[in-house]
Amino acid sequence: MASCSSLAAIAILVFLLSFTAPLFLAKPLHHSHHPRFASHNYRDALVKSILYFEGQRSGKLPSSQRITWRKDSGLSDGKAMGVDLVGGYYDAGDNVKFGFPMAFTTTMLSWSVIEFGGLMKGELNNAKEAIGWATDYLLKATAHPDTIYVQVGDAGRDHSCWERPEDMDTPRSVFKIDKNTPGTEVAAETAAALAASSLVFRKCNPSYSKLLLKRAIRVFAFADKYRGSYSNGLRKVVCPYYCSVSGYEDELLWGAAWLHRATKNPTYLNYIQRNGQTLGAAATDNTFGWDNKHVGARILLSKAFLVQRLQTLHDYKSHADNYICSLIPGTPASQAQYTPGGLLFKMDDSNMQYVTSTSFLLVTYAKYLTSAHMVVKCGGVIITPKRLRSVAKKQVDYLLGDNPLKMSYMVGYGARYPQRIHHRGSSLPTVATHPAKIQCRSGFSVMSSQAPNPNVLVGAVVGGPDEHDRFPDERSDYEQSEPATYINAPLVGTLSYLAHSFGQL
């Protein structure tokens, strides 16, 4: 395991102290970015946002496991195909391991640590543990050249049951991409995840970091050479769950951008300069998430121009600015929709993933602009880094409870939060309280019940309210009530920034 940890006992002690920390920890320092009082304990939210990943673990759980109602699961994953695919994360409220969103989650957790890890203090080690749990799995999934195991579990069969991961009896079918069944988007995202995480472990575990980077280089070459969408070759398996709608060009640009950042090898810079336009560098779609990486690639590549003064990438500053201008209210190009309560709203299904990923890009771009002493010009309107940070803060504050329902959309944070999340393990009795197996379909009686989930999945951020700020808190409503790893991953970086800027870390 890629641990950079000191003793697990210290991590547990820090975790316990975070819940008993005196109130003065939430008191802000006067800081140039946010002179106002913090209405939220961002440090508490940060601790919980990272802890959530332990509730999503698959495989053999370590002795340091802090979400103790979860037990070992999926211990024979991959065995039928003669490969070891034990470990990794369940992406949301079911028991399937989907490689595409898992890789994106890993990339975003890594980016959070790369940009804001220096501010995380005691939480940095927990964030690295969360990344290492994913990278250990991604290394297994990419162990054979020109092959990536991209899914474990039959989603259709899995969804016909409501059972704990510890009880799974649906087929743990294994699906892969290779030369004959390419999957460029999932391969390039996996390369991005391996490259980004190699930067996370570079100082504390150099040999592991080298292994990750070497694998990233190989996986990207495979992604680029054998081009094709995994949604074609594996349509019956991955659609409609994690079908790629945006194509694979965005992942190739994103993967190359991460490899450029991790290797500093001019090969990747040349690749970006040669292929950027055909891969959609100037694309106008402004949704950033597990499927579409265009905006993320623009922001990431703008750093090379803004901070490292790489003139050949100057276009990415204007591409990134176009995105910002489309997002900020009051600019001539603004297209963003907001709910009456002020939440960015883009999608009916799991809108909060769009909120957390956008907020992360805003604070990250603000960081790059600040170091370059630059601003964004939208027609005649000037947008400062301070403005970007304040838009991001407003979104995070809404998520944490500053909204018409006065409800936190992070489980376990604040006085009022979702009680009936769409999540099997959280909604069913634990193995400790109910040792007998819960059969496939008998769990559905819980799905329709109004009783709160017995196990609190601390830190889980749900899909969130609708466009009218309404949230029914119903377990069957997966669009609004299901948490997911890729909702939490970008939030880790933004919360680290906010906690630091208010003197809570």
Distances (CA, A) of 502 to 39, 43, 134, 455: 10, 9, 31, 31
Residues 6+ apart with CB under 8 A from 471: 405, 407, 409, 418, 464, 465, 480
Contact 97, 91 (CB under 8 A): yes
Three-state SS for 50?
A: helix
Pairwise CA distance, residues 455 & 142, whole Å: 34
Pairwise CA distance, residues 136 & 450, whole Å: 38
Is 469 designated active site? no
Q: What are phi and psi of 410, to 5 degrees?
A: -105, 120
CA-based nearest residue to 42, from 360, 396, 418: 396
Residue 277 CB: number of other CB atoms within 10 A? 12
Between strands 147-152 and 97-98, the pairing is antiparallel
Is 482 designated active site? yes
Among residues 319, 422, 423, 500, which one is catalytic?
Answer: 422
Tokens in use for 56?
């999503």
- Sheet with 174-178, edge to edge strand ranges: 97-98, 147-152, 174-178
**Could you write out the DSSP letters of every residue in 99-158?**
HHHHHHHHHHHHHHHHHHGGG-TTHHHHHHHHHHHHHHHHHHHT-STTEEEEEES-HHHH
CA-based nearest residue to 193, from 135, 145, 243: 135
Is 422 designated active site? yes
Three-state SS for 483?
A: coil
Pairwise CA distance, residues 490 & 361, whole Å: 9
Residues 6+ apart with CB under 8 A from 353: 289, 290, 347, 463, 484, 486, 487
Q: Kindly tell me the burial class for residue 74, based on how many C-beta atoms sit within 10 Å of its own C-beta (0-12, 13-18, 19 or more).
A: buried
Contact 65, 15 (CB under 8 A): no
Three-state SS for 178?
A: strand
CA-based nearest residue to 440, from 45, 28, 161: 161
**Could you write out the DSSP letters of every residue in 431-456?**
TTT--SPPPTTTTHHHHT--SPPSS-
Active site residues: 422, 473, 482
